[in-house]
Amino acid sequence: MAISKGDKLPDVKLVKATAEGPEAVQSADYFAGKKMALFAVPGAFTPTCSAKHLPGYVEKAEELKAKGVDEIACTAVNDAFVMGAWNKADGSGDVTMLADGSGDFAKALGLDADFSAYGMGTRSNRYSMIVDDGVVTEINVEGPGEFAVSSAEHMLGQL
């Protein structure tokens, strides 16, 4: 069953991509005490993710922060090195990259998806959520092939 509004995030290891290299973090600790805009993509460097999803959050970062967001984070079933390279290529210092290399976070959320038909294996659904002190206050899950409700613009309307 997928996570819902009002649920607490599961406690799963993620790996934060930093300039100094990968840094393991526990989701329960990482999301505690702050309001976060979290979005997930099926994969770094994939077409919609690189052309629209990440750039939207980079472009709207200041507006999100002005509405009370402490941090913007992106997660994908990729390793921290790929997430770091993607942030360097298409992102910014305003977006934290949280690698979910084995898909444990996506699975724990109930938001994993089978992309085997595209040669990508198990990945994450495309979604966004507002997480306040580890609790989901808004969640927006896209249907297959869609990109609308997980956008930065949509999230701004929810804040």
Q: How far apart are CA 31 and CA 6, in angstroms?
A: 14
Q: Kindly give the residue spans of alpha helices, DSSP state H, lying in the chain.
A: 27-30, 47-48, 54-59, 61-66, 80-90, 104-109, 152-158
Choice among 3, 15, 37, 49 that is catalytic: 49
Based on the residue annotation, tell me whether 49 is a catalytic residue of this protein.
yes
62 SS3 class: helix
Q: What is the per-residue DSSP string for 92-133?
A: -TTEEEEE-TTSHHHHHHT-EEE-GGGT--EEEPPEEEEEET
- Give the residue numbers annotated as catalytic, written as ranges: 49
